[in-house]
Amino acid sequence: MIRDAHGPGALSESLDEAAHRCLVAGFDGTTAVPDTLKRLVDRGLGGVILFTRNIRDADQVRELTGTLRELRPDLLVAIDNEGGGIGHLVGAGAPEVPGNQALGAADDPALTAACADALAGHLATLGITVSYAPVADLQHRPENPIVRTRSFGADPDLVSRHLRAWIAATEARGIASCAKHFPGHGGTVTDSHHETAVDPRPYGELDLAPFRAAVDAGVPMLMSAHVVFPALDPDHPATLSPRILGDLLRGRLGFDGVLVSDALEMKAIADRYGEAAGARIALAAGADQVIVAVPHLETTLACRDAVLDALGSGELARERIEEAAARVRRLAQRYATPPAVVAPWDADAGPEAARRAVRSRGGLPSPVPGAYVVDLFPPPHPALNWGGEDLLTEVRTLDPAATGTALTSEPGEAVVAEVLRAAAGRPLVVAVCDSGLYAWQGRVRDALLAARPDAVLVSTGLPEAAALCSYGRGRANLRAVAEVLAGSPPTAGSAL
């Protein structure tokens, strides 16, 4: 028998292992595995999640994932890998794909499949076999602060066909995909990383169709949303709701794969419940795994202890944890081991998708060689965007005569005046990224356009009227816009 030091009761070795299967842990380090994590793995830890903090280069990642599997071969190694500006593998040579909004704008499922194949193939070469992608949320509220260009679009049929393409391509590589965030984060005006999010719509208006499509396509994993849906359960966010995870997902939608929570340290859970209680409640509600993404393993231990204590006291049913662990084991049998041979992928698929998205709105502006480029965008989201790419850099790569500035906060009037002086006598490009959310961008844009109505307006977030639109801020997106501005058509067969 194993008695946890923090738990009141004795648990069998099999139940202790089952409880650990239900955890996914983040950690610090690029080579060495912390001793605490080794002990968790030894007791059955279900998976680990990698972030930019764990990535240096491709060889290092392969060595790290190999070390993790030496500890236990059926450990699931996962990462967020949506493409576009959302990813952690730039340092490891990730394929440049434009992100979902651009793929939806191009609306070619074969091209989406090729981009998903590139991302999954790259993961396979690194020994990462679980991809927390694709995003199945619909983007139909302009105020939504978190979905936006991560979504394929607003139309459920469009989103569903691209989900099917993505899931099939990822599965063909032997990588587990994970559609998120069930039952949809697109109807909120709040980022659940920062506070509780609510979708107030009636049941008939909720965004369930893409998730039905993902389930029908055989997606092996779904991720829950930390969102309250009063029409489904007015008292709990989806991650903690038996009605949503059990009655709706398992019952009505018939999903029998692994349901994993979004990260428990997100404030929608952590501030109201605490991570440890969140882990216990989520598993009781029907989640099969809970993610503790922060690298502080004491938080993971606190979540583990809460689950073990609840099992020991009978507050958490043994049968629920055994059911969850069985699903995780089945997933590991299918996906824990990376393929021995990885076929090459189409390196041109991402650049081509980015270019097709830029051209999807019809007419393009004439090239503006030697332009002064003002790129306005918010600071990268700490949980999502790690690239920090800017349009000026991409334009200058193609047109060394271009110059300009990149701004992530509102400048003073003197800076705006200096921009206008520097741009005098040359084309001016003004790029914004979701200016509807970040009012300072609108003010700077309007001041510049008032003085220079001839300026070319670019949108690198959701599309804006009268703008050249990239549908995202990944490097592939920005390079596709830069090609238009610089008048530099791509060479046939070239990759970005």
52-71 pLDDT per residue, tens = 999 999 999 999 999 999 99
Give the model's pLDDT for residue 481.
Answer: 97
**Whether residue 122 lies in the annotated active site:** no
CA distances from 424 to 355, 407, 419, 428, 486 (A): 30, 19, 9, 8, 18
Give the model's pLDDT for residue 343.
Answer: 97
Lowest mean per-residue pLDDT among 53-57, 120-124, 280-284, 490-494: 490-494
Give the model's pLDDT for residue 489.
Answer: 67
Give the model's pLDDT for residue 495.
Answer: 36
Which H or E element spans position 228? Answer: strand 227-229
pLDDT at 314 over 70: yes
Phi, psi of 277 (to 5 degrees): -65, -35
Model confidence at 385, pLDDT cuts 50, 70, 90, reads low
pLDDT at 428 over 50: yes
Domain with CATH 3.40.50 in the chain: 349-486
CA distances from 158 to 8, 139, 281 (A): 52, 12, 35
Model confidence at 3, pLDDT cuts 50, 70, 90, reads very low
CATH code for the structural domain at 2-79+129-335? 3.20.20.300
Distance CA 99, CA 422 (A): 33
> What one-character DSSP code corresponds to residue 435?
T
pTM: 0.94
pLDDT: which is higher, 58 or 488: 58
* Average of per-residue pLDDT across 336-340: 94
218-261: pLDDT as tens digits = 999 999 999 999 999 999 999 999 999 999 999 999 999 999 99
* Average of per-residue pLDDT across 385-399: 87
Residue 2 in 3-state DSSP? strand
pLDDT at 331 over 70: yes
Query: What's the helix, strand, coil split of the chain in %, to 5?
Result: 45, 15, 40
pLDDT at 490 over 70: no
**Cβ contact 104:153 at 8 Å:** yes
Question: How many helices (DSSP H) and strands (DSSP E) are in the chain?
Answer: 17, 20
Name the active-site residue from 20, 181, 185, 193.
193
Judged on CB neighbours under 10 Å (0-12, 13-18, 19+), 107 is: middle
Model confidence at 387, pLDDT cuts 50, 70, 90, reads low
Lowest mean per-residue pLDDT among 77-86, 122-131, 207-216, 478-487: 77-86
Which amino acid would we find at residue 251? G
CATH code for the structural domain at 349-486? 3.40.50
Distance CA 142, CA 150 (A): 13
* Average of per-residue pLDDT across 81-109: 94
pLDDT at 492 over 60: no
**Whether residue 88 lies in the annotated active site:** no
**Cβ contact 184:146 at 8 Å:** no
436-468: pLDDT as tens digits = 999 999 999 999 999 999 999 999 999 998 889
Give the model's pLDDT for residue 344.
Answer: 97
**Cβ contact 455:429 at 8 Å:** yes
**Cβ contact 495:375 at 8 Å:** no
Give the model's pLDDT for residue 11.
Answer: 82
Model confidence at 207, pLDDT cuts 50, 70, 90, reads very high
Name the active-site residue from 199, 262, 375, 434.
262
pLDDT at 162 over 80: yes
**Percent of the chain having pLDDT more than 70?**
95
pLDDT at 301 over 80: yes
pLDDT at 132 over 50: yes
Average pLDDT value for the chain = 93
